[in-house]
Chain A
Amino acid sequence: MKVTVIGAGNVGAKAVYYIAEKNIADIVMVDVVDGLAQSKAMDFLHAAPLRGYEVGIRGTTDFAEMAGSDVVVITAGIARKPGMDRMDLLRTNVGIARQAAKEIARRAPNAVVIVVTNPLDVIAMAVLRETGFALSKVIGMAGVLDSTRFRWFIAERLGIWPGDVQAMVLGGHGDDMVPLTSFTSVGGIPITQLLDATTIESLVGRTRTGGAEIVGLLKTGSAFYAPGASVAKMVEAVIKDEKRLIPASVYLRGQYGMRDIFLGVPVILGKNGVEQILELPLTETEKKSLEASAESVRRAVRDLDTL
């Protein structure tokens, strides 16, 4: 098995780290900046005797080396800096993603593509169009990250082991994401039986701004441990055909009443990419939030159409 990670920045490198530790696939890191992917791959390999990696790790500037990859992750792109126009960010990152998509279509035509570059739901659309891949093969990483943050906040609050918390966060990867409290439980017990409504609402709020909270603390840069771990979880689900039920941004054709849009919904992830999209019964409030979330994605896609 072979995984390629495009973009050797913090998120890409951390994803490579988590994937390498699982020892499940050879890894290629590609970055257009000469020396960046090579140096990080070299650094990883220096740790191989200690960590006992059984997989190969290569860094390169040459997209040709991704040939035959089973999974390709796109993390390349710039982060939004204070004062930067949203359209400038979109223009730059769409350009990067389209170039990556072109290379993927040519060199790894059977790959499942996991999109991480922001604005996620829009970039995923650009990648789908550019590759011409089957709808089930292009997936945006957002819900796993938003859910793991929500799960941690709940575990921290209750003073329990985070692995026992299950949660589902839908919608776009933005401030209007939709954490579903009715699909959130602790050891199977709905959180509504363990926490009062005000507390839950505050944890939901913190989840929505979880990325921004870290940006605010770091001053320069954004989160990469949890995003890297989220990418690795999705890669593992595909490589090992785990059929894992996770929230991910996928192309909808009528599910949840949405069409021609990438939006975070529960899917079963396996070796073919999206094996199934689950339609959960939502409350009226949740439906409205999902619609609001979809509307902001649609607006951004209209911007994409002008580029």
Chain B
Amino acid sequence: MSRVSIIGSGNVGANAAFFIAEKGVTDVLLIDIKQGLSRGKALDIMEAAPIRRYRNSLNGSDSLADIAGSQMVVIAAGTIRAPGMRREDLYGENAALIRTLAPEVARLAPESIVVIATEPVDSLTALFTIRSGMPRTRVLGLGGILDSMRMRALIAREMDVSMEIVSAMVIGRHSDDMICLPRYSSVSGVPVPQLLPADRIANIVSETRSAGDLVVELAKRSSAYYAPSAAIAEVADAVHMNLARILPISLMLDGEYGIKDAALSVPSIVGETGVTRILTPELTKEEKDTLAQSARLIASVVKGGAA
């Protein structure tokens, strides 16, 4: 079986391992610098296997060297937000971690697809790509996929329909300036603007923007991790099964929408080699301006090395 290695065995990492285990198609290795943590969580998950019936193996390790040969490496390590903090406030601390990890991952698992779940995700995806020297199509940030999941859930709740038939698109920066695109969101193919009045769509958009903040506010001592872990498992599935799925993934742009030197979420086709194609649906001038502004912020943070 091919293997997904998850660096960081906190809530996001461990739950990603759990969701991937439930799919039952890849082995999972949890890694954390905290001695014993990864092995403890892996054991706990494996002891549920007789009941949940998964047959793939889950292991834990304290050593980064064990990621060698992984098909996918997930970066879920780092500091999380406390109530009142912005994702960007984490840059200083977490960028230091990425600067250490990037060359090591490139050396130990040079052929792997890397998924960045650590915040602020777009800046760190850009930083990881630069520092690792890996192709941009193999360093994927978990931004729009998570935001669009949340928007899907909110549309389904608002319309009282099954979540599974709702598709939603959120692109741009995984922050207050994310771009929710209701006209590219639909229910069984029917665009959302034809199903809901403008004011209710505006509410959905604003709730989507602050969905992550709300979880931090309510949970107080943790940030969201179920939805982010589910998003990681979704990407793992697309890669492992070579699904060619369309997912809004953050990656270094190279001229798409006229942007370079920044990572932002755009709809991308994801398969076993990472991103095989980047789609650029038509945007309004205002949306393109927002995208360009987000890109400038990210590029300056990554270049400046500070938040």
Q: How many residues of B contact A (CB 8 A)?
A: 30
Q: Which of B4-12, B34-42, B110-118, B240-248 contacts A (4 or more CB under 8 A)?
A: B240-248
Residues of A within 8 A of B247 (CB): 187
A268 (CB) vs chain B CBs: closest residue? B161
Judge whether A160 and B246 touch: CB under 8 Å. yes
Question: Does A204 sit within 8 A of B, measured CB to CB?
Answer: no
Judge whether B189 and A184 touch: CB under 8 Å. yes
- Mask, A161-197, CB within 8 Å of B = 1, is 1011011100000000000100111111110011000
Residues of B within 8 A of A278 (CB): 190, 195
The CA of A242 and the CA of B188, in the complex, are separated in Å by: 13
Question: Does A281 sit within 8 A of B, measured CB to CB?
Answer: yes
From A159, A160, A180, A188, B168 is in contact (CB under 8 Å) with A188
Question: Does A245 sit within 8 A of B, measured CB to CB?
Answer: yes
Judge whether A161 and B165 touch: CB under 8 Å. no
Judge whether B186 and A244 touch: CB under 8 Å. no
The CA of A114 and the CA of B199, in the complex, are separated in Å by: 37
Residues of A within 8 A of B269 (CB): 160
Judge whether A244 and B279 touch: CB under 8 Å. no
From B165, B181, B191, B245, A244 is in contact (CB under 8 Å) with B165
Residues of B within 8 A of A194 (CB): 279
* A193 with B185, Cβ < 8 A, contacts A160-B269, A166-B167, A244-B165 known: no
The CA of A186 and the CA of B245, in the complex, are separated in Å by: 10
In whole Å, how far is B191's beta carbon from the nearest beta carbon of chain A? 7
The CA of A166 and the CA of B169, in the complex, are separated in Å by: 13
* A237 with B162, Cβ < 8 A, contacts A160-B269, A161-B238, A185-B189 known: yes
* A187 with B279, Cβ < 8 A, contacts A164-B246, A167-B189 known: yes
Residues of A within 8 A of B275 (CB): none
The CA of A161 and the CA of B161, in the complex, are separated in Å by: 23
Interface residues in B261-298 (C-beta closer than 8 Å to A): 267, 269, 279, 281-282
Judge whether B194 and A281 touch: CB under 8 Å. yes
A-B contact count (CB 8 A): 92
The CA of A245 and the CA of B186, in the complex, are separated in Å by: 11
Judge whether B281 and A189 touch: CB under 8 Å. yes
How big is the A interface, by class?
A: 20 to 34
- Mask, A246-269, CB within 8 Å of B = 1, is 110000000000000000001010
Interface residues in B138-180 (C-beta closer than 8 Å to A): 160-162, 164-165, 167-169
Question: Does B187 sit within 8 A of A, measured CB to CB?
Answer: yes
Interface residues in A60-79 (C-beta closer than 8 Å to B): none
The CA of A278 and the CA of B188, in the complex, are separated in Å by: 12
Judge whether B243 and A161 touch: CB under 8 Å. yes
In whole Å, how far is A214's beta carbon from the nearest beta carbon of chain B? 23
Judge whether B184 and A242 touch: CB under 8 Å. no
Question: Does A243 sit within 8 A of B, measured CB to CB?
Answer: yes
A191 (CB) vs chain B CBs: closest residue? B189
Judge whether A183 and B161 touch: CB under 8 Å. no
Residues of B within 8 A of A180 (CB): 189
Residues of B within 8 A of A189 (CB): 169, 184, 246, 267, 279, 281
* A245 with B165, Cβ < 8 A, contacts A161-B238, A166-B189 known: yes
Judge whether B167 and A188 touch: CB under 8 Å. yes
* A159 with B244, Cβ < 8 A, contacts A185-B184, A188-B181 known: yes
Judge whether B245 and A193 touch: CB under 8 Å. no
In whole Å, how far is A81's beta carbon from the nearest beta carbon of chain B? 35
- Mask, B210-227, CB within 8 Å of A = 1, is 000000000000000000
In whole Å, how far is B268's beta carbon from the nearest beta carbon of chain A? 9
In this complex, the member of A160, A167, A244, A280 whose beta carbon has the largest number of chain B beta carbons within 10 angstroms is A160
Judge whether A164 and B184 touch: CB under 8 Å. no
In whole Å, how far is B168's beta carbon from the nearest beta carbon of chain A? 7
Judge whether B245 and A164 touch: CB under 8 Å. yes
In this complex, the member of A184, A187, A190, A246 whose beta carbon has the largest number of chain B beta carbons within 10 angstroms is A187
Judge whether B188 and A280 touch: CB under 8 Å. no
In this complex, the member of A186, A194, A245 whose beta carbon has the largest number of chain B beta carbons within 10 angstroms is A245
In whole Å, how far is B22's beta carbon from the nearest beta carbon of chain A? 16
B169 (CB) vs chain A CBs: closest residue? A188
From A186, A187, A242, B162 is in contact (CB under 8 Å) with A242
Judge whether A188 and B190 touch: CB under 8 Å. no
Judge whether A280 and B165 touch: CB under 8 Å. no
B247 (CB) vs chain A CBs: closest residue? A187
Residues of A within 8 A of B195 (CB): 278
A164 (CB) vs chain B CBs: closest residue? B246
Residues of A within 8 A of B168 (CB): 188
From A159, A160, A168, B188 is in contact (CB under 8 Å) with A168
The CA of A280 and the CA of B282, in the complex, are separated in Å by: 23
Judge whether A188 and B188 touch: CB under 8 Å. no
The CA of A245 and the CA of B211, in the complex, are separated in Å by: 25
The CA of A147 and the CA of B186, in the complex, are separated in Å by: 15
The CA of A185 and the CA of B267, in the complex, are separated in Å by: 13
Residues of B within 8 A of A244 (CB): 161-162, 164-165, 188
B182 (CB) vs chain A CBs: closest residue? A188
The CA of A255 and the CA of B281, in the complex, are separated in Å by: 33
B188 (CB) vs chain A CBs: closest residue? A245
In whole Å, how far is B53's beta carbon from the nearest beta carbon of chain A? 9
The CA of A189 and the CA of B267, in the complex, are separated in Å by: 9
* Chain B interface residues toward A at CB < 8 A: 160-162, 164-165, 167-169, 181, 184-191, 194-195, 238, 243-247, 267, 269, 279, 281-282
Besides the contacts A187-B167, A244-B188, what 12 more A-B pairs have beta carbons closer than 8 Å? Answer: A160-B245, A166-B165, A168-B190, A183-B191, A185-B191, A187-B169, A187-B279, A188-B281, A189-B169, A237-B162, A246-B188, A280-B190
Can you list the 3 inter-chain pairs with the closest CB atoms, starting with the nearest? A187-B246, A166-B189, A188-B184
